[in-house]
Amino acid sequence: MARPFKSPKATSATRPPKAPPAAPVETGDDEVPSASRSGQRLHKLLALAGFGSRRDMETLIESGRITINGQVAQVGAVVDEHDIVRLDSRILHLPFEAELPQVLLYHKPEGELVSQDDPEGRATVFDKLPRIKQGKWIAIGRLDMNTSGLLIFTNSGELANYFMHPRYEVEREYAVRILGELNPEQMSQLTQGIELEDGPANFESIHASGGEGANKWYQVVIKEGRNREVRRLFEAFHLPVSRLMRVRFGPVALPPRLKRGTMLKLEQKQVVALLEWAGLPVPRKPLKQLSPHDKDRATRVFVPKVRKQRRSLLETANAPATAEQRPARAPTANRRIRQDADLKQASMQNARINTNAKKRSDRGRG
């Protein structure tokens, strides 16, 4: 049987010409083509590691102290697991796989400063914080020395930034005791707004909550964290604040079992709920399975111990020790160096002691 006729294949003359290969793009040693580069932003990873907010990390990168594979990093740089990132000369271990941050609640008493370092040497809340393996503790908001109540610490720069940044308008609730009493007109003025030295300010809500004699208590809610703002709003009506305590910050309320001067670590599920509330990514890693005993121990209220707070990695990285910080060496002028003759003399003395002891034991047997 005859086979069906097949049309001849197109010859090479009719084929379309091949496009010339693209010329390679010249890049520096510290640059990687964007098409083949996959990773995460450096400042984001530094913030996730708890070294500070993203804005602070951008400032740190601009200072030139961060290097990637030996090259000075630039703002917006992308890194992956294979890159070596250093702060000065110290290698940083970045969380490419996000881990669940830690959140600590503290019932701050009056008389403590919320500061990393006080030049006058007064007590600060950071003197009591437990040590942390990754990053550093960040105080979410501040309370002045004469204010008590809820203070939140975390090692997540992003979570701290969401709580504190003015554009998110996170509520802060305070219990305020004043010397005097507000009338309805003054309470209405405080919610509508009052002009202060640094601009207008107001309470989101205010209501009376009792009191005895000349002292009256009020519950106020505010969405800003300006310096002494609550006190200044009451002082605008010549009503001094005699006691101020923060009882809530965002969705976190001061637990009744958290007494003054004690700390409490949030459970893993509570931390996940906080990340979801803030719209932050939740780590993919499964939560650690804790036994009832370990869970009770991890979330138990405890009284922190005062200790010498070590400075953060950003403050101590390769910092040269001053003459006052260096331990003084002992003078070497009158020091005697041990020689071989000393060792021989000591060994001969030990041999004589052992021989005499053996003779005495032999006499006792006889």
Crossing angle of helices 54-62/157-164, nearest 10°? 120
Provide the token pair at 258.
Answer: 């958290």
Neighbours of 170 (CB within 10 A): 21
- In DSSP terms, 220 is beta-bridged to 174, 206
Active-site residue flag, 29: no
Q: What's the CA gap between 352 and 29, in Å, rounded?
A: 71
Please identify which of the residues 80, 118, 144, 296 carries the catalytic annotation: 144
Q: What's the CA gap between 326 and 41, in Å, rounded?
A: 38
Which of 357, 135, 141, 159 has the alpha carbon at shortest distance from 248? 141
Q: What's the CA gap between 187 and 182, in Å, rounded?
A: 6
Residues 33 and 27: beta-carbon distance below 8 Å: yes
Q: How far is CA 280 from CA 160, 230, 294, in A?
A: 11, 30, 27
For residue 106, give the amino acid letter: Y
Provide the token pair at 307.
Answer: 């200790």
Give per-residue burial for 342-353: e unless 16+ CB within 10 Å, then b: eeeeeeeeeeee
Provide the token pair at 222.
Answer: 């505010």
**How many secondary structure helices (H) and strands (E) does the chain include?**
9, 17
- In DSSP terms, 71 is beta-bridged to 68
For residue 57, give the amino acid letter: M
> Residue 163: in which H helix or E strand, if any?
helix 157-164
What residues act catalytically? 144
